[in-house]
Structure 1
Amino acid sequence: MQQRKGIRVILFPLPLQGHINPMIQLANILYSKGFSISVIHTNFNSLNSSKYPHFTFNSIPDGLLESEASTEDAILLSILNFKCAEPFRNCLAKLFLDVLEEPIACLIPDVVCCFAKPVAEGLELPTIVLRTTSVCSFPGFAAFPLLLDNGDLPIQKVCIFMAFSPVLACRLEEPVQVLQPLKVKDIPEIKTSKPEGLHELINRMVKQAKASSGIIWNSFEELEQDDELTTLGKDFPVPIFPIGPFHQYFPASSSSLLTQDQSCISWLDTQVPNSALYVSFGIIAAINEAEFQEIAWGLANSKQPFLWVVRPGLALGSEWLEPLPDGFLEMIRGRGRIVKWAPQQEVLARPAIGGFWTHNGWDSTLESLCEGVPLICQPNFGDQMNWNTFREKTGEREYRKCNKRLMVEAEGQELRMRTLNLKDKADLCLREKGSSCQNLENLINYI
């Protein structure tokens, strides 16, 4: 822990789990480097300030109606940007009056909070934005303004699963003519009832990032392609700081919005090393009852031990486990365990875990790679579509086959070795003179 610098940094997370986690991790990193930390947050998905007594927390009203406070439609992001601007302005102005004895160096908002930079500009406060996902996914979002101008949105990702062959016959590999070498699959897919509003928000997000004083990335250079970093530097002529993986600085920290079931850790410790599949689709993704049952049968018939996180509401129209097939729990007794929520970093670190069936959220992807755990990918929306390892169309047979390929066949062993290589790179980047270590020092000096 470095000596206090007498300088304060203000952070503002987007109030979604996959954005809150890295923002609080970044706050801890900056605090460890001597900065004082203030966090502004919304009442929606409000943070538990008692977990972080070393930070100052400031809650603002978000004005969300009960019908609007749902993560099922991404239009929530547009609503938050509209309703939070004025409360945020009032809170930031008050902080300026309250901490005059400790100068505020900058504001670090989530890049999706497009209203934050204009508000900070009015107070002559520099803004460094945080992008909570990978560098390689951002060109897909950055392409939205040009695609909108050319009338190319929405792009139809039409896919047909060929019953006689495990091949997707679709447009996903086709190039986007105005943005080559980007392909259709590289354009993020966003589920919303009002695409025009969301496209405009993404347009604003890209413009604000380009006009910011810098961009922080929860990623590391060795994981990104050199041409992606080079292209980003040309398109976004601001300082960029890939200083991740954030969670590796303080692995024990957690800002989970749901209560974690710690009992699964002792259960995992009874399993053979590399034998158990961890299954979790994050805090937002939802699936229909038929797909839920196909996943259940795929797990049961794979004959592999598994830990399955079934978040309440994961299966659409159900409270929790009601859609499970009759006799399922008896069938998996002793071999499978189902919990409502798990301490994911601890789970992935257990020797028993041999694979992770995931929705491909960036936090989950990084946490898995940093533990050397290979992935079965079932992306759901947004930038989750940009990366995949084993990706299969829904169906119990395909799920079971995919599990077997990863857990017991030679292909899974090869994938495990490649993942362990990425784990080594993640370890090295945080050591002295590693890329993330040096980029973090650059960021500290820049602030």
Structure 2
Amino acid sequence: MSMVTTDPSLRSATRRRIILFPTPFQGHINPMLQLANILHTHGFQITIIHAKFNAPNPSNHPHFSFKPINDGFAEIADQLATNQDATFFLKYLNKSCMDPFRDCLAGLLAEPGQDPVACLITDAAFYFAQAVADELKLPRMALRTSNLGCVLAYDALPFNSKPACFYLTKQDTDYEASVPEFPLLKFKDIVKIATNPQGMGEFVTNMLTQMRASSGIIWNTFKELEEHDLETVTQVFPVPSFTLGPFHEYFPATSSSLIEQDRTILSWLDKQAPKSVVYVSFGSVARITESEFQEVAHGLSNIGFPFLWVVRPGTVAGSEWLESLPENFVEGMGERGRIVKWSPQQEVLAHPATGCFWTHNGWNSTLESICEGVPMICSPCFVDQPINARYASDVWKIGVFLEDGFERTGIEMAIKRVMMDKEGEEIRERISCLKEKVKLSLDEGGSSFQSLKSLVDYISSL
């Protein structure tokens, strides 16, 4: 891991403050806190404004100041288990947080005897914050916690002009066809991206408009992975862009995890042969049906490889934890398998026993797999995940896309392709090359190193 060093040339001339505001979801909080750590190491004081829902633990970050605001999320939190429309929650937060955020930010700016605030950095999904920042005459930068390609796809997809294409089913002739506006994606992919295309269209329009109005965009990616898309982004978004990722390579994410990790699995991994374990995790939000859950279980049982399966409580709709497993599954797996509620994922992926990562392709997980050189089996669930998965499988060719969803025969074939076939060896070679490019980008003079230096200089000049 390339840890941040306090290079005097990167430190700001004064102890100016930066105020950061993440959206309250694990996949968004982690990179924001990682960015905060990076900037703190380069001379800035850090204040985190945060929603009370999924609040970060201040004791894990004693060098930051935390300011909670009322978010009203408790009124709709019970819908998280059943409502698959992510934009419903994001649009709600953009309305419910506006006044509490403005009051909190204005109070911070008015505090006597404090160092001046250099800028505000908010998650790009908090699009309302641009108007608040303009009103208070404070530069706002947007952190986009996805890859570049995701934003280009969002900009191109016809959420408003062709909403019907987001409702296609397997029976429709175009279901497997490419989407003309963004040919990397198939219609069956965009069905997952937006369950409510009109709502998604409204959200995306607001987010992208305010990204263009911002003082700059920070991306958790690195130039060598998305060089062509970076050229397009600089044309589509006429504000400075900074690609200084992967953030987690600067600092480990364990301290910002919202779920308790089961570390006993590391000693179990120590007993497994090199590159023999199938690691399965579908992230902190995604949900699957009971039948899909059982197909995953049968696929893992039938393949014969050791496996580590993360089943977050609430993963299966209508189930608390493991009640939906096939009869005698746990007894049958014995020492060959482990099921846990959450894992120290970066350490699991870095472990020599881990042979492949069956993932939902959240952007953080995808980046972590790249950084450890672990081939992927791609099972995206919603929003940006199908886009990440298509890039992984079809552009970078570092994973196998599980095209037919959770079906045991397809699962077994995908695992064999990655773990046993020549195709898997070629995937491993490609992702190992990307792993090396990550290291080079973070080293002195590398693209991410230089982008971080440019960001620190830019914030210091605001």
Q: TM-score range by the shorter chain?
A: over 0.9
2:193–2:386: 8 Å Cα contact kept in structure 1? no
Counterpart in 2 of 1:212?
A: 214
CA contact (8 A) 2:167 2:191 kept: no
- 52-61 vs 380-389, which moves further: 380-389
Separation in structure 1 between the aligned mates of residue 212 and residue 416 of structure 2, nearest angstrom: 45
Q: CA separation of 1:154/1:65 partners in 2, compared to 1, >3 Å: closer, same or farther?
A: farther
Cα shift readout 1:181-237 (whole Å, capped 9, x = no counterpart): 665558584455x543332121100100011110000000100042x1122111110
The aligned runs of 1:18-417 (5 Å cut-off) are: 18-68=27-77, 70-71=79-80, 72-73=83-84, 74=86, 75-98=88-111, 100-143=113-156, 147-148=159-160, 151-156=161-166, 158=168, 160=170, 170-176=174-180, 179=181, 183-184=185-186, 189-192=192-195, 195-226=197-228, 228-251=229-252, 253-386=254-387, 387=390, 388=393, 389-392=399-402, 393=404, 394-417=406-429
Q: Secondary structure at the match of 2:18?
A: strand
Tell me the equivalent position of 1:432. Answer: 444
Greater alpha carbon shift after TM alignment, 229-238 vs 52-61 = 229-238
TM-score scaled by length of structure 1: 0.92
Residue 251 of structure 1, CA deviation: 2.9
Cα drift, residue 171 of structure 1:
4.0
* Structure 2 runs not aligned, ≥5 long: 1-5, 394-398
Q: What is the CA–CA distance in structure 2 between the aligned matches of 1:18 and 1:350, rounded to whole Å?
A: 22
1:157 shift after superposition: 6.3
**Alpha-carbon distance in structure 2 between the residues aligned to 1:212 and 1:159:** 38
Partners of 2:420 and 2:150 lie apart in 1 by 31
TM-score, normalisation: structure 2: 0.89
Q: State the secondary structure of the residue aligned to 1:286.
A: coil
Task: Tell me: CA distance 1:40–1:170, structure 2 relative to 1, closer, same or farther (3 Å).
Answer: same
Give 1:47 shift. Answer: 0.8
The answer for the alignment partner of 2:23 in structure 1 is 14
1:254 Cα deviation (Å)?
Answer: 3.2
Contact 1:70-1:76 at 8 Å conserved across structures: no
| Cα distance in 1 for residues equivalent to 2:143 and 2:78 | 23
1:153-177 Cα distance to aligned partner (Å, 9 max, x none): 253364649xxxxxx974454343x
Contact 2:140-2:215 at 8 Å conserved across structures: yes
Give the aligned partner of residue 164 of structure 1.
none
Identity %: 49
Distance 1:354 1:49, change over 3 A: same
- Report the 3-state secondary structure (helix = DSSP H, G, I; strand = E; otherwise coil) of the residue aligned with 1:334: helix
CA contact (8 A) 2:168 2:191 kept: no
What is the CA distance between 1:46 and its match in structure 2?
0.8
5+ residue gaps, structure 1, are 162-167
Inter-partner Cα distance in structure 1 for 2:112 and 2:365: 36
Q: CA deviation at 1:35?
A: 0.5
**Larger displacement relative to structure 2 (4-13 or 235-244):** 4-13
**How many aligned residue pairs are there?**
434
Could you tell me how far 1:284 is from its partner in structure 2? Answer: 0.8
The whole-number CA distance in structure 1 between the counterparts of 2:178 and 2:415 is 29
| 1:280 Cα offset (Å) | 0.2
Q: 1:358 Cα deviation (Å)?
A: 0.2
